[in-house]
Structure 1
Amino acid sequence: MYKHSHPIIKHLHIYADNYTALNSIVEPSSRAGQSWATSFQNTIMGFLNQNPEHTLAKDASELWCLDHPTLTNAKQMTKARALDDWTAEWKSHKFMGAFATANHIPPAWKPRDHFFTTKREVYARLTQCRTGHGFFGEYYSQFVPTETTSCSCGTVLQTRDHIIQEAFTKTGMPRGQAIPLIYHEDEVYEDGEASGGEAEQEEEEEEEDLSEGSESEREE
């Protein structure tokens, strides 16, 4: 690479308006368009080797200017002020609608971490739940009147709260209810009492003690 042939270079800065493209650059696995990426790499390396003007431009951009800020600094300051105004407007605005209850994340120039780390199927359901636009009765009642609005458990209106807190699970049990515990032999209850075979053995020992006690009383 160009960096290997120029030891003076210690850091490489790559600017792009596409986050996915930046992630793909460092991904070593095979992917679509890899031959084009190799061709682009060879082309840009040849350009950098034959045209040293980019180093001069970089040196000029790092010069300290007392009268006027650099274009890069001006863009950065403008972007920061825009984000401050955007955040102030977001805090002062009273949101309405289905998304209002989930709109608690301040504005940002790039998506949050959960946008990239959440599994696709989970993120799809999460987005439906947050925005209120999804395959459930609450949305159908407003935008798709031809679809049923009831829940499979019998509730008339299937809302987001109902699905999360009350609707039946895949096992057919309502959410929020305690799952019955099934004890097997030689298990122990939560309060420390034995169950199963151990419990029966303890009962037999207690009966033997009682019988021995009654016999001793008779002898006396």
Structure 2
Amino acid sequence: MEVDEQVHTLTESFEPFAPEARPGDCLLDCYADHLRFDECDPTQDRHPYLDELIADVRADPLTVLAAADGSVPQSNQYQATSAAIIYKGHCELERTRYVSGRVTAPDAELNAISCAVRLAVKQANCQHIMVFTDSMGSAHRAVDPGVHSGQAFSLSVCRALQEWFEADDLHRITFVYVPSAMRWDIHGEAHKYVTELKVRVGHRKTDNSIDALRSRAAHSVLDSWNSTFQDPTYRGSEFLELQQPDGRPLQPSYLNGGPWLSTFGHSITEFARVCWCITGHAPIGAYYRRFKINEPHGCTCGAALQSRQHVLFRCRDRYSVHYPRFLGDIASFMKYNPTAFGFNRDPSGVG
């Protein structure tokens, strides 16, 4: 099998009717008081907090510490990797790392957390497990037995913890958030350990998660969309070309609704005026003349033709801006000219 053919092959399987996912039997339904998520407080300086926390738990002989981390190389030539390191006090008990195939970063993190939990519950004289991770989203997903990318890892976590909780009512687990950029203590060690493992994608079968395939499909569609967007016959000959902050042409995107909607989506009326302005389909003289509409072509300021360029830069009746290169320029113009590129309301209240 060629490598290119493997790229589009889903290798993970799912259990839509897993017993662990039945309402009332889920881990969070039965043992919610045994699980805790220590998430990041935006007002909190995380470094001293983590230093104090680990000092306290290292002094507890019944607490096992687990550092979990996943890594997805930027180059498609390499597979994602996951790693877990287990400690008690200052003593390292066990460590492992392995390739995760072609998966997303949350998938790799979930894989690492699953490994960390399964190793931690096997340690003797352990009542409390503390898992340090830089992906709290994956930590929450680790105890979600429903159908999702990496469900098999979540089910393994749920099964391991359910058996462990049933063995002793004092057993509990805490997932602690560690910002990746901190390279902090044992989590920093796990990060170093996992990123040292470099395994190329070979000709043998490579795992592909469903989220990885979704991401690859979305990027492929976006690349095609950006390519098509360069064609004026697709984009529209009157489309107002704007730039990104780095100077590149503004391109369509599905992220957060795309650049236009994310900037103006807070107001339906403002977004409508922006669309009319950018596409050149605004109720102005140049549009009326182009489509032979029986409306005045001139501007209220006395200019012979009310074009978009005139409205934006030369109209004496409006606040003007410098040449609009960015969406922020258009936003500023719309703010100070609340009726620009909009239709006049009918006196009867219709329209």
Q: Fold conserved (TM > 0.5)?
A: no
Task: Select the structure that is richer in helix.
Answer: 1
Task: Select the structure that is richer in strand.
Answer: 2
TM-score of the superposition, structure 1-length normalised? 0.44
Which has the higher relative contact order, 1 or 2, with Cα contacts under 8 A spaced 6 or more apart?
2
TM-score of the superposition, structure 2-length normalised? 0.30
